[in-house]
Structure 1
Amino acid sequence: MPRTPFPSVHSTPASATEGTVPERTVPEGAATAAAPTTGAPLTEAPLTGAPAGDRAHIRARGITHSPGGQPLLTGVDVTVSASTKLAVVGENGSGKTTLLRILTDRLTPDGGSIDRAGTLAVADQELPAYPDVTVGDLADEAITPARAALAALDDAAAAMASDADGSGSDGSGGSGDDYSRALELCILLDAWDAERHVDIALEALGAVTDRTRQLAHLSVGQRYRVRLACVLGAQPDLLVLDEPTNHLDAAGLDFLTATLRSRTGGLLVVSHDAALLADVADEFLDLDPSADGGPRLYGGGWDGWRTGRARDREAWQAAYDAQQAEHRRLRESVDQARSRLSTGWRPDKGVDKHARQSRAPGIVQSLHRREDELRRHALTVPPPPPRLAVPTGRTQKGAPLLTAAEVAVADRSSHPVSVGLAGGDRLLVVGPNGAGKSTLLAMLSGALEPDQGWVRRHGTVTVSRLGQEDEIDDGHRSPGQLRRRRLTQVLAQGPDVVLLDEPTNHLSMSLVDDLLEGLEGASAAVVVATHDRQVLRRLAHWPRVELGDASA
């Protein structure tokens, strides 16, 4: 049977290594996966074995990794235990996915040690469409440990029956011990319901349930949902997910959130979905830049992470400002001493010649002392990353700015909409895809003329709009950098009306915090169209326009 080219469920013995990951071994009597018949290389062969239960863990100490000679991960210490629900966060390029690959034994770090035990299931961001691999292959692989455990239980029961009739008993009582171990394993794996768990996950995530469908015939989103369902249904000791909310609808998000919250095993998740992390994570490993260059681990869930990060950033900024101020003071002191040396000791003809000459050594010594102090004052605190600034603006509060009356565009708007905006107003635009959110913002900005209704600006009103996606202006900026640059440009214009269409796309959660906090104090009228669940929670006190289904 062909096997899937992604790490499914496997177990590793507890072992520690220095600078490398442990070599996988097969426990005695455990079944291994068959070699792939598709010709596609496996990143690692899934193994089966007894789960570790409460003893399951991944422990990493001092992990460093510098691909291409560029430091990416430095001094990472992290433990994922059977009771951990850990989120790894950071801006694009901070090393989140790289760390997950290292922790799951698919990438060798440059340094550090890793110790693992227990069964592990991994869902990466992408699943290639390998030929001849079907939905059923993924589902079968997910429940292979459970099926092996049930087979072992049947064998042990048969051996006990044979011992009972005297045909195979050697007096050792070994078959009874085998049966007890097999039964314990089946209970730990919930083996009798393993296939049902996968079926439930496939259905709840809106995934393809036809076991004969080939992955190559599915869309990217369909493949992703199938693989995620199989990984969730496997119920391993430790679950590792990289951007699991990609391609999920509202029902799928609800199921994923409920499943992760109710898990009794360990969880390690990377996600830009702030709402998911707020709902399920108890700890946060933050890979964003820090004062000492190392990662930060925060407890206390979402609120503990945001509070701790803000506290650390404030301390970092204060330390940087203090060191820079002291450096400036020392440099000014050197400049003053040098000025006195160049202008104060050269004797003029006649007057006070002796006195001036006698002061010269003291002025030189003072200059040398100040130069020594400046050299000893090393700048050790790096500059903190710049925050996203939202200008307050000068728009008069309550002043009429813009009115839209029953506006709509054929085939792009589900219903005519009326909006009135004054200085300081806030408005959320929500609704499903295709309901016309982007169309409404385009009409309000003047970029799109309505087929019906009208839009009027009151006086010399300036309007700026941020679209959903940003045009690539060179080949060196990531989507996150482009988004931040474009958002900064829109805000820096100081418009009276700010229209933001999915403004948090590609932004790190720290920048989202900066944006939302800044918008609250802006004098402009602000309109935000978004699907971001955490943004909707944060802005729940804003008035909103609900746009219906495009087919309504």
Structure 2
Amino acid sequence: MTSPLSPALVRTAHVRLSDVHVAFGGRPVLAGVDLVAAAGDRVAVVGENGRGKTTLLRVLAGTQPVDRGEVRRAGTIGVADQQIPLGEQETVGDLIDLELAAVRNALACLEAATTALAEGQSGADDAFAAALSAAEALEAWDADRRVEVSLAALNAVDDRNRPLGTLSVGQRHRVRLACLLGAGHSVLLLDEPTNHLDASGLAHLTERLRAYPGVVVLVSHDRALLADIATSVLDLDPSSDGRPRGYGGGYAAYVEARQAERARWEALHAEQLAERQRLADDLSAAQNRLRDNWRPEKGHGRHTRATRAPGLVRAVHRRQEELSAHVVAVPPPPARFTMPELPQHQGTVALRASGVAVAGRLDHPVDLTLGGADRLVVTGRNGAGKSTLLAALAGALEPTSGTVTRARSVRIGWLGQESGLPARRTAAELLEQRFPGAVDLGLLSGYDRHRPIAELSTGARRRLDLALVLTARPQVLLLDEPTNHLSATLVDELTDALHSTPAAVVLATHDRQLLRDTASWPRLAL
């Protein structure tokens, strides 16, 4: 695909971070981040939830000041974060105008400069040349057409008079994304842009980003998108030296290098722990010898004790010094996700849907039967009713026609796309209240476990939702877009666990890599 954007954009696109540090409330969020990206670079920013990926995009956008370090950027910047900047009363047209503000301003300045030139005002020649250059850099005359193309490709609402309050969250994000793809910015900063896209929308986004001549900095859990477009990867997870690390060669090269580095890290940490344990054992043995030799067997006198004691004391001191001098310099690697042992429903049928439909949301009746360790992937474009079907199966939504039958003893775990967690409670409090004494699954950091849920990142709340579902040890898992907002590493670990769990699993997803990883599972296309 040929890019519609001007060569002037290519010349101006540039971002650079040097040793950037950001802390919130004294807690480091970004520490020692370096990044250089020029025109044509597509940088994937990865890391576990809470590592500062969204904060990094805000630093690049200029909305988050840094505590230390240098930030440089050149050219216009378009940002797709996880919050829509307008209220429910504003319209689709208002959102388009907001996202195309630079285009509108460039055309207005050119019109004013043209008028000044026609009137022969002093300095009008230079003002006109500057205004024309700015409009050309954005290809401002063609911006609305580019937006219309992307609105159609992303299956987004194109009625400019439609209030945003009548749109779903996904529809609003698709409108905003279409605007950014057409606005002609030098730099695109995208935070989880695939969360609300179906297969055709993902294909369009991939095509546009691969052809984008400016800088793209992308935060995404979508491993297929990262593999398709990333030219380099910035990993914000701490490495063995405690600093974020950049990797060239694209996403596949990053995965290979990161796995090798993780293996070395774990081996070095284990070696240092083993050496520390050896030194501790040597000290304990020396202390035991000292104690035993102060009480020699019968027949030995004071002289024997007196001659042995100094040497034994020196041996103990020497081993104490060796142990004190031994520092475990390699920090422990991050914890891995641990899937709980989910039980399998022993009956013939755990869950059955017969002619289930929901007016206006799931129009085509659905029949399905689940039992034992069955697997099912529900597919379909946005609006086809995938989330509605899972909510009906879980009992959270009553069908307008048809019936859902659940075995009397079956436990069903439903992970929806929207979180309704109590804002003021902490994750630890909520887990302890619902599941006293439950084991940690490795989904939440110690810091996130003790923060109010309202202060958690979107990804951390998603991890908590998943922890609550899994800790209930359901026999049937209903997972609606389970990879949304999760790190690529966690998604890989979760995917492996879903293959091996004895519980029945139903997935509704647009995640192309997850679809590939579950290619052998039965499909239900809506």
TM bin (shorter chain): 0.7 to 0.9
The code of the aligned residue for 1:338 comes to Q
**CA–CA separation in structure 2 for the residues paired with 1:411 and 1:274:** 33
Partner of 1:291: 240
Letter in 1 for 2:498: L
> In the alignment, is residue 75 of structure 1 matched against residue 32 of structure 2?
yes
Please, which of 29, 39, 49 is the counterpart of residue 92 of structure 1?
Answer: 49
Structure 1 Cα separation of the partners of residues 64 and 72 of structure 2:
14
Match of 1:534 among 505, 512, 521: 512
Residue 321 of structure 2 corresponds to residue 363 of structure 1: no
User: For residues 514-546 of structure 1, what are the alpha-carbon distances to aligned partners after superposition, in whole Å with 9 as ceiling and x for unaligned?
Assistant: 111233344x25423121413533334222231
Q: Is the 8 A contact 1:135 1:212 kept in 2?
A: no
What is the alpha-carbon distance in structure 2 between the residues aligned to residue 127 and residue 394 of structure 1? 41
Q: Aligned pair in 2 of structure 1 residues 239, 70: CA closer, same or farther (>3 Å)? A: same
Is this contact kept in 2: 1:391–1:494, CA < 8 A? yes
Say yes or no: does 1:282 pair with 2:282. no
Equivalenced residues, count: 477
Indicate the residue corresponding to 1:270 in structure 2. 219
Contact 2:197–2:510 (CA under 8 A) maintained in structure 1: no
The equivalent residue for 1:228 is 177
- Describe the SS at the equivalent of 2:377: strand
CA distance in 2, matches of 1:339, 1:219: 71
Counterpart check, 1:465 vs 2:413: yes
Residue 254 of structure 1 aligns to a residue whose secondary structure is: helix
Distance across 2 between alignment mates of 1:260 and 1:392: 41
Show the counterpart of 2:86: 129
Query: Which residue identity lines up with residue 528 of structure 1 in the other structure?
Result: V
What percentage of aligned pairs have identical amino acids? Answer: 42
Matched with 1:315 is 264
2:482 corresponds in structure 1 to 503
Aligned residue number for residue 37 of structure 1: none
Question: How many angstroms does 1:509 deviate by?
Answer: 2.0
Contact 1:59 1:78 in 2 (8 A): yes
Superposed CA deviations along residues 363-395 of structure 1, whole A, max 9, x for unmatched, are: 111111110011011122222221112367898
Q: Tell me how far apart the structure 2 counterparts of residues 70 and 286 of structure 1 sit (CA, whole Å).
A: 19
User: What residue is the counterpart of 1:258 in the other structure?
Assistant: 207
**Is the CA contact 1:393–1:494 (under 8 Å) kept in the aligned structure 2?**
yes
Q: Which is higher, the Rg of structure 1 or of structure 2?
A: 1
Q: Secondary structure at the match of 1:351?
A: coil
| CA distances 1:48-106 after superposition (whole Å, capped 9, x unpaired) | x9946345311111001112211111110001210110121223321112111212222
The answer to whether the Cα contact below 8 Å between 1:401 and 1:422 also exists between their aligned partners in 2 is yes
Q: Which residue number corresponds to residue 517 of structure 1?
A: 496
Please give the alpha-carbon distance, in whole angstroms, between the structure 2 residues aligned to 1:529 and 1:217. 27
Q: Compute the displacement of 1:266 (Å).
A: 1.3
Cα shift at 1:454: 6.1
> 2: distance between equivalents of 1:451 and 1:74?
55
Alignment of 1:88-167 (within 5 A): 88-129=45-86, 134-135=94-95, 137-138=97-98, 141-144=101-104, 147=107
Question: Which runs of structure 2 are paired with 1:95-494 in the superposition (5 Å)?
Answer: 95-129=52-86, 134-135=94-95, 137-138=97-98, 141-144=101-104, 147=107, 188-209=137-158, 223-347=172-296, 350-351=299-300, 353-390=302-339, 402=349, 407-409=354-356, 411=358, 414-419=364-369, 421=371, 426-431=375-380, 432-434=384-386, 437-438=389-390, 442=394, 465-468=413-416, 472=421, 474-475=425-426, 476-477=452-453, 478=456, 480-481=459-460, 483-484=462-463, 487=466
Once the two structures are superposed, residues 183-226 of structure 1 have per-residue CA deviations (whole angstroms, 9 ceiling, x without a partner) of 87766544543332233234434445455667688775555444
**CA contact under 8 A between 1:198 and 1:230: conserved in structure 2?**
yes
Partner of 1:75, secondary structure, is: strand
Q: Which has the higher helix share?
A: 2
CA contact (8 A) 1:404 1:417 kept: no
- Aligned AA for 1:57? H
**1:390 maps to amino acid:** M
Following TM superposition, by how much is the alpha carbon of 1:118 offset from its aligned partner in structure 2, in angstroms? Answer: 2.7
- TM-score, scaled relative to structure 2: 0.75
CA contact (8 A) 2:393 2:404 kept: no
In 1: Cα distance, 2:318 partner to 2:63 partner: 56
CA–CA distance in 2 between the matches of 1:493 and 1:223?
A: 33
CA contact (8 A) 2:188 2:216 kept: yes
Distance in 1 between residues matched to 2:22 and 2:53, nearest whole Å: 12
> Secondary structure at 1:143's aligned position in 2?
helix
One-letter amino acid of the structure 1 residue matched with residue 239 of structure 2: S
CA gap of 1:471–1:183, structure 2 versus 1, over 3 A, is closer
Letter in 1 for 2:511: R
- 1:411 to 1:140, Cα distance in 2 relative to 1, 3 A: closer
Structure possessing the higher relative contact order (Cα contacts under 8 Å, 6 or more residues apart): 2
CA contact (8 A) 1:50 1:185 kept: no
* Structure-1 separation of matches of 2:484 and 2:96: 34
Q: 1:511: Cα distance to partner?
A: 1.1
1:151-204 deviations in Å (ceiling 9; x for gaps) = 699799989xx9xxxxxxxxxxx98x9999988776654454333223323443
Q: Deviations over 1:461-513 (max 9, x none)?
A: 97663432666473335464565466567667887765545433443221111
Distance in 2 between residues matched to 1:148 and 1:50, nearest whole Å: 22
Q: Which amino acid aligns with 2:293?
A: G
Structure 1 residues 406 and 472: CA distance shift in structure 2, 3 A:
closer
Q: Distance in 1 between matches of 2:271 and 2:248?
A: 29
| Cα distance in 2 for residues equivalent to 1:221 and 1:395 | 34
Change beyond 3 A, Cα 1:213–1:381? same
Q: Is the 8 A contact 1:466 1:487 kept in 2?
A: no
Structure 1 residues 57 and 112, CA gap change in structure 2 (3 angstroms): same
Shift of 1:400: 8.4
Which amino acid in the other structure matches residue 269 of structure 1? L
Q: Which secondary structure state, in structure 1, belongs to the residue aligned with residue 217 of structure 2?
A: strand
1:57 aligns with 2:14: yes
Supply the RMSD in Å over aligned alpha carbons. 4.4
Deviates more, 1:137-146 or 1:273-282: 137-146
Instruction: Compute the displacement of 1:147 (Å).
Output: 2.9
Contact kept in structure 2, 1:146 and 1:192, CA below 8 Å: no
Asked whether the equivalents of residues 62 and 112 of structure 1 are also in contact (C-alpha less than 8 Å), the reply is yes
Judged with a 3 Å threshold, the aligned counterparts in structure 2 of structure 1 residues 507 and 300 are, in CA distance, closer, same or farther, namely: same
Where do 5+ consecutive residues of structure 1 fail to align? 1-48, 163-173
Structure 2 unaligned segments of length 5 or more: list them: 1-5, 427-451
